[in-house]
A = this chain, B = another copy of it.
């Protein structure tokens, strides 16, 4: 039994668009397209050139956001994602949601008797080369000019102002949300995890986007000679770090919820030489969950564990909170719309799941109802050039996305 097809929906066109974007900044089977790099700008130009075919007027604004605006009267849904990539990373992380939005606009906007239009957005720097979800944050009014002045690419130290000037965007205004214009925001994305694949599902209906709580842990010891300093008198910041992280992992395993994740991304020992006892250790530690109360309990657990280790000695531990985003809830009626579309166009192979990654949708959720749809990631791989999704799953996801757009506009 095959599913019905939406009139005008063209999965081959979706795949052709994604393959075209894959060639811009190709890296092995993925792409290398950092924010405001020449390759990223070429991808923005590609999108601007594609928008008129969907009845949309293209604009690239002063922070590198691309908008496709409809002159059609009536209800409007904003849809999109991002076109830059992590360094040497996957081809679908971002472009999938942009091309789905473009396809939905191409299918739905020309239908004269359909009351509604899909408008398209590609947000600049979702991947955080210069900041933290800067493009979408600019759109909702959360970015000051001084932040852009200070923004520097974390890989090559390029100033964002210089990058915007090189792209020709420096003198353009930044486009801000027009309150009341959209019924909501809808974003498709690869899952970046293995939940869908391992449960033989095709569509993830996102219930919430997790809060990400990021900490720097600084451990102070005494730098000394690794040959002549007896074990009994050492204050080894590296060993204290290792013990703390082992204890934290054990404590978090007991306190975590079923989908909580925690990660030590970096351990830097100073001076980091083979024959010197480290005098200082710096750790980046983060955890994520969609329950604000659990996040708060885990922060307490982190601080209590660090305090207990400080108390026991010999190295004091300082806990500095770098970031603590609030989990964003996705609009329930939009979730119903996606689920209903998946019932028709994906054989009902959907599940409601939270997003463990941050997305522009969490920013847009501050100013309008928001929704997200996930497609399966092969092997759950993400932020790596081997990231992939099968052509069949890409096509199924696009089909459900277009249908869900129509349903949301009809609510």
Contact = CB atoms under 8 A, between A and B. Distances in A.
A243 B277 CA distance: 19
Contacts of A151: none
A61 interface: no
Nearest to A386: B223
A58 interface: no
Contacts of A267: 238, 241-242, 267, 269
Contact of A233 (B230, B264, B355, B380): B380
A269 B261 contact: no
Interface string A255-293: 010011111111111001111111000001010100000
A136 interface: no
A303 interface: no
B259 A223 contact: no
Q: Which of A193, A225, A245, A355 has the most CB of B within 10 A?
A: A225
A360 to B, nearest CB: 14
Given A224-B382, A226-B286, A266 B273 contact: yes
B231 A242 contact: no
B278 A274 contact: no
B356 A225 contact: yes
A26 interface: no
A245 B264 CA distance: 15
A261 B382 contact: no
Copies of this chain, complex-wide, total 2
A357 B265 contact: no
Given A242-B245, A275-B286, A356 B265 contact: no
Contacts of A70: none
Contact of A225 (B243, B275, B277, B383): B383
Given A227-B358, A228-B357, A230-B194, A263 B275 contact: yes
Nearest to A265: B274
Contacts of A246: 242-243, 246
Given A192-B229, A224-B380, A229-B382, 20 more contacts: A191-B228, A192-B227, A193-B228, A194-B229, A224-B383, A225-B357, A227-B357, A228-B355, A228-B382, A230-B259, A231-B256, A233-B380, A238-B265, A242-B242, A242-B246, A243-B246, A263-B277, A265-B269, A265-B277, A266-B273
B276 A265 contact: yes
B227 A288 contact: yes
Interface string A350-382: 000001111000000000000000000100111
A301 B284 CA distance: 30
Contacts of A230: 193-195, 259, 261
A249 interface: yes
Interface string A182-206: 0000000001111100000000000
A85 interface: no
Contacts of A337: none
A377 B224 CA distance: 12
Interface string A210-245: 101010000000011111111101001011011101
